[in-house]
C-alpha cells in the first residue's frame, strides 16, 4: 500500500469520525434515550436469560427484568425521599445557620475590604432586582427539563424492553447485511461487546454499593446528619466520572456547614472522601471493575470530555462503555486494528500483569 493510499484511508476514517460525532450532536434528543436503552438491555440480558431458563417465555422474561430494574430504582428513590424528608424537617435550623454564615461573611468583607454592611446589602438588592427575570426563566427551564426527563425515562424503559424482546431479530439483521465470511467475526463482536458491557456495568454497580457502605460509615463517624442520604448521593454521582464524586462531597461539606457549623465535621467529611478515594482507586476499581474495557487512561479521559461536549452529562455516563464496544469492533476489523491498538493500554512484558493490585493478589495465592 502506497503512502498516498494510506493517507487517503486515514483521512476517510477521520472524516467518518467527524460525521458520526456531528450526527450524534444534532440528533442527541433521539440517540441519548436509544443508547441508554441499548446499554440497559445488555445489562439486563443475564436476568432475562435466567428467567427464561426457568420456563418463562421471552416477553414475560423481558418484562420481569425491566420490573426488577424499576423496583431497584424505586427503592433508591424511596430511600432518598425518606432521608430528604428528615432534612426538610430541620430546614428552619439550617436556614438559621445559613443566615449566621452569611452574617459572618459580611463581617469578614467589611473588616477586610472596608465595604460596610449597608453597601453590601444595597449591592445584593441590585443583583436580586436584575436577577428576578432570570430566576423566573430558570424556573420555567427547570420545569421544562423535568418534563423532558420524565419523557426520556419512559422512552428509555420502552427501548430497553424492545431491545431485549427483539434481540434475536436485531442480531439476525446485522448478520444478514454482512458478507458470509464476516458473519462469524460479527457474532464474536456482538457477544464480546455484550459480555464486556455487562461485566463493566455490573462491576460498577457493585463498586457503588461498596461506596455507599464506606461513605455511610465515614459520614456517620464524622457526625454528618442524614449520613445515609449523602452516602447514597455520593455513590450515585459516581456514575458521572471525575466530576461526580467531587460534586457529591462538595454538597456534603456545604450541608455539614449549614447543619452544624462544626469544622470538625467538615474535616471528617474530607478525611472520609480522601480515604474512600484511595480505597476506590487502588483496591475497588482494580478488583471489582478491573481492566474489562482494556482502554488507555488517556483515551478514557478524552472520551469523557468528548461525551460531555456532544451529549452533556448523559454523554459522560455512556462514553466509557461505548468506547469499550468501539475498541472491540476495532480489534476485530482489519482496517481499524491500528486504532484499536492506540486506544488500548500499553503492552506489558510477557507474563506480567500491568495492575499492581492484581499482581499482589496473584502472588499471595
193-238 pLDDT, tens digit each: 888 888 888 888 888 899 999 999 999 998 888 888 889 888 888 8
DSSP 288: I
User: Do residues 237 and 318 share a domain?
Assistant: no
Looking at 249, 267, 291, the residue that finishes a domain is: 291
Looking at 261, 291, 321, the residue that finishes a domain is: 291
User: Do residues 284 and 308 share a domain?
Assistant: no
The residue count of the chain comes to 365
User: Do residues 221 and 278 share a domain?
Assistant: yes
Question: Within 10 Å of residue 305's Cβ, how many Cβ atoms?
Answer: 13
User: Do residues 274 and 249 share a domain?
Assistant: yes
Which of the residue ranges 5-14, 152-161, 195-204, 330-339 would you say has the lowest mean pLDDT?
5-14
Most confident option among 90-104, 221-235, 274-288: 221-235
Is there a domain that residue 307 lies in? yes
Is there a domain that residue 356 lies in? no
**What sections of the chain are H helices per DSSP?**
3-26, 28-52, 58-89, 91-113, 117-165, 167-176, 183-222, 227-236, 243-259, 263-279, 297-311, 313-332, 337-343, 356-364
Is there a domain that residue 198 lies in? yes
Task: Round to whole Å and give the CA distance between 160 and 163.
Answer: 5
Is there a domain that residue 325 lies in? yes
For the stretch 46-65, pLDDT in tens is 999 999 998 889 999 999 99
What is the number of domains present in the chain? 2
Find the mean pLDDT for residues 287-310.
80
Contact predicate 269/256, CB 8 Å: yes
Short-list 162, 203, 187, CA closest to 58: 162
Find the mean pLDDT for residues 251-279.
84
DSSP 282: I
User: Do residues 321 and 250 share a domain?
Assistant: no
Domain residues for 299?
A: 293-347
Is there a domain that residue 222 lies in? yes
Is there a domain that residue 271 lies in? yes
User: Do residues 228 and 311 share a domain?
Assistant: no
Q: What is the pLDDT of residue 301?
A: 85
Backbone angles phi, psi at 17, to 5 degrees: -60, -45
Distances (CA, A) of 307 to 159, 300, 310, 311, 344: 21, 10, 5, 6, 18
Q: What is the pLDDT of residue 94?
A: 65
Query: Cα–chain-centroid distance for residue 326?
Result: 18
Q: pTM (2 decimals)? A: 0.75
Percent of the chain with pLDDT over 70: 78
Is the model's pLDDT at 324 over the cut of 80?
A: yes
User: Do residues 246 and 318 share a domain?
Assistant: no
User: Do residues 223 and 286 share a domain?
Assistant: yes
Is there a domain that residue 52 lies in? no
User: Do residues 241 and 322 share a domain?
Assistant: no
Q: What is the pLDDT of residue 13?
A: 75
102 or 31: which leads in pLDDT: 31
Percent of the chain with pLDDT over 90: 18
For 167-175, the CB contacts below 8 A with 24+ separation are: 167/41, 167/45
Looking at 252, 272, 291, the residue that finishes a domain is: 291
Is there a domain that residue 311 lies in? yes
Is the model's pLDDT at 323 over the cut of 70?
A: yes
User: Do residues 298 and 322 share a domain?
Assistant: yes
> Mutual orientation of helices 28-52 and 183-222 as an angle, nearest 10°?
90
Short-list 29, 40, 20, CA closest to 167: 40
357 grid coordinates: 493490585
User: Do residues 287 and 322 share a domain?
Assistant: no
User: Do residues 279 and 304 share a domain?
Assistant: no
Question: Within 10 Å of residue 2's Cβ, how many Cβ atoms?
Answer: 7
Amino acid at each position: 500500500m502506497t503512502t498516498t493510499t494510506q493517507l487517503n484511508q486515514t483521512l476517510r476514517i477521520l472524516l467518518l469520525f467527524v460525521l458520526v460525532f456531528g450526527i450524534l450532536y444534532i440528533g442527541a434528543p433521539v440517540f441519548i434515550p436509544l443508547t441508554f436503552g441499548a446499554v440497559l438491555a445488555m445489562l439486563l440480558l443475564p436476568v432475562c436469560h435466567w428467567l427464561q431458563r426457568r420456563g418463562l417465555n421471552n416477553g414475560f422474561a423481558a418484562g420481569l427484568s425491566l420490573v426488577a430494574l424499576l423496583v431497584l430504582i424505586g427503592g433508591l428513590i424511596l430511600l432518598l425521599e425518606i432521608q430528604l424528608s428528615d432534612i426538610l424537617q430541620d430546614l428552619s435550623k439550617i436556614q438559621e445557620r445559613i443566615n449566621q454564615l452569611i452574617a459572618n461573611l459580611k463581617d469578614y468583607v467589611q473588616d477586610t475590604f472596608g465595604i460596610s454592611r449597608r453597601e453590601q446589602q444595597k449591592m445584593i438588592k441590585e443583583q436580586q432586582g436584575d436577577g428576578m427575570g432570570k430566576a423566573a426563566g430558570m424556573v420555567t427551564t427547570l420545569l421544562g427539563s423535568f418534563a423532558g426527563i420524565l419523557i426520556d425515562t419512559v422512552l428509555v424503559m420502552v427501548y430497553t424492553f424492545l431491545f431485549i424482546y427483539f434481540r434475536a431479530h436485531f442480531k439476525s439483521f446485522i448478520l444478514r447485511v454482512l458478507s458470509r465470511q464476516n458473519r462469524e467475526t460479527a457474532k464474536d463482536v456482538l457477544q464480546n461487546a455484550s459480555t464486556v458491557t455487562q461485566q463493566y456495568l455490573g462491576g460498577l454497580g457493585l463498586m457503588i454499593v461498596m461506596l455507599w457502605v464506606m461513605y455511610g460509615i465515614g459520614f456517620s463517624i464524622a457526625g454528618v446528619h442524614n449520613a445515609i442520604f449523602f452516602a447514597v448521593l455520593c455513590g450515585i454521582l459516581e456514575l458521572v466520572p471525575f466530576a461526580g464524586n467531587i460534586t457529591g462531597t462538595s454538597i456534603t461539606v456545604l450541608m455539614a456547614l449549614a447543619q452544624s457549623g462544626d469544622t470538625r465535621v467538615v474535616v471528617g467529611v474530607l478525611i472520609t472522601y480522601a480515604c474512600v478515594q484511595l480505597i476506590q482507586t487502588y483496591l475497588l476499581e482494580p478488583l471489582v471493575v478491573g481492566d474489562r474495557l482494556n482502554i488507555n487512561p488517556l483515551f478514557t479521559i478524552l472520551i469523557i470530555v468528548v461525551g460531555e461536549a456532544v451529549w452533556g452529562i448523559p454523554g459522560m455516563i455512556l462514553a466509557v462503555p461505548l468506547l469499550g464496544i468501539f475498541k472491540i469492533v476495532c480489534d476485530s476489523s482489519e482496517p481499524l486494528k491500528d486504532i484499536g491498538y492506540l486506544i488500548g493500554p500499553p503492552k506489558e512484558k510477557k507474563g506480567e500483569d500491568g495492575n499492581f493490585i492484581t499482581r499482589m493478589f496473584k502472588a499471595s495465592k
